[in-house]
A = this chain, B = another copy of it.
Amino acid sequence: MPGRGSKKIAQQPTLADFKVGVDNVIFSVDTAQNRLLVLLVMRQEEPFSGHWCLPGTLVRQGESLEDAAYRILAEKIRVKNLYLEQLYTFGGPGRDPRECDGSYGVRYLSVSYFALVRFEEAELIADGVSGIAWYPLEQVPQLAFDHNKILEYGHRRLRNKLEYSPVAFEVLPEVFTLSDLYQLYTTVLGDNFADYSNFRARLLKLGFLYDTKVKVSRGAGRPASLYRFDAEAFAPFKDKPLVFI
């Protein structure tokens, strides 16, 4: 950080001034239909007015990045449970058209966050004006800014996290069948992994899935047991390499 407040003003390269935005990639899963969903909102202002985009906001004075991420989330949906982590920071010049017009030289930088919510518990807040909707991942349209890129990055993160951490239980309902769990993995990762019975056996042996003994019947077939993720029983596995495949 050369020469801030110093006297040699000769050929100082000019620093860029930034506005910092936070954009959230919010995933959920519709267990009933086995669809991976992402939350999109319709932009009301220029640029890209009328285009869908990831829910985002600019960071306010005194607000931390994470606070900003929680704020947009709270503005858009009401949730009981929430998983949130920082994703990536996109900041090349020219990623936002506002950089050219109006305020000279201001750069727009986006710190993206990755969130998982439970579909059943997430209640979308429609303010009457702005559109907001869950989009199945394969049906996501062209988004504003570089949001398709951000979304893709988030999707990759989700796939990676599924394999080695218990994020699945953040998107599944409180109680779920082992089929639900297996379906979730196949819808997100494809079905190039262990078959259902092996998947089942492995997960149960680990011992952090609690069988509530409650049965649910969905159409034909034998009723399935509802299971609950037992965070306490999982604790020993925390930070240890663990493969869910």
- Are A60 and B19 in contact (CB-based, < 8 A)? no
How many angstroms from the CA of A163 to the CA of B17 in the assembled complex?
39
Q: Please determine whether A15 and B89 come into contact, CB atoms closer than 8 angstroms.
A: no
The one of B4, B64, B89 in contact with A111, judged by C-beta atoms closer than 8 angstroms, is: B89
Is A91 in contact with chain B by the CB < 8 A criterion? yes
Given contacts A20-B91, A86-B88, contact A61 B14 (CB under 8 A): yes
Q: Does A173 contact B (CB under 8 A)?
A: no
Question: Which A residues between 1 and 34 are near B, CB-CB below 8 angstroms?
Answer: 1-6, 13-21
Do the beta carbons of B14 and A109 come within 8 Å of each other? no
**Shortest CB distance A2–B (Å):** 8
List of B residues within 8 angstroms of A64 by Cβ:
91-93
Please, how many angstroms separate the alpha-carbon atoms of A2 and B43 in the complex?
10
**Do B63 and A93 touch (CB < 8 A)?**
yes
* A113, chain B: closest CB distance, angstroms: 10
Whether B15 lies near A59 (C-beta < 8 A) is yes
**Chain A, 67-112, CB within 8 A of any chain B CB:** 86, 88-89, 91-93, 98, 102, 105, 107, 109, 111
Judged by a CB distance under 8 angstroms, whether A58 is at the interface is: yes
**One of B5, B19, B65, B163 near A89 (C-beta < 8 A):** B65
Is the CB–CB distance between A60 and B15 below 8 Å?
yes
Contact of A58 among B15, B57, B91 (CB under 8 A): B15
Q: Is A45 an interface residue (CB 8 A)?
A: yes
Q: Does A241 interact with chain B (Cβ within 8 Å)?
A: yes
| Contacting pair B20 A16 (CB below 8 A) | yes
- The answer to the question of A62 belonging to the interface, with a C-beta cut-off of 8 Å to chain B, is yes
Q: In A22-59, which residues have CB < 8 Å from any B CB?
A: 45-46, 56-59
Task: Please report A residues at the B interface, Cβ cutoff 8 Å.
Answer: 1-6, 13-21, 45-46, 56-66, 86, 88-89, 91-93, 98, 102, 105, 107, 109, 111, 163, 241, 243
What are 23 A-B residue pairs whose CB atoms fall within 8 Å in the complex?
Answer: A1-B21, A3-B45, A4-B98, A5-B102, A14-B60, A14-B61, A15-B59, A15-B60, A15-B61, A16-B19, A16-B59, A16-B63, A18-B18, A18-B19, A20-B20, A20-B107, A59-B91, A59-B107, A61-B93, A63-B93, A65-B92, A65-B109, A89-B111
What 8 A-B pairs have minimum CB-CB distances, sorted nearest first? A18-B18, A64-B92, A65-B91, A89-B89, A16-B61, A13-B60, A14-B61, A18-B20
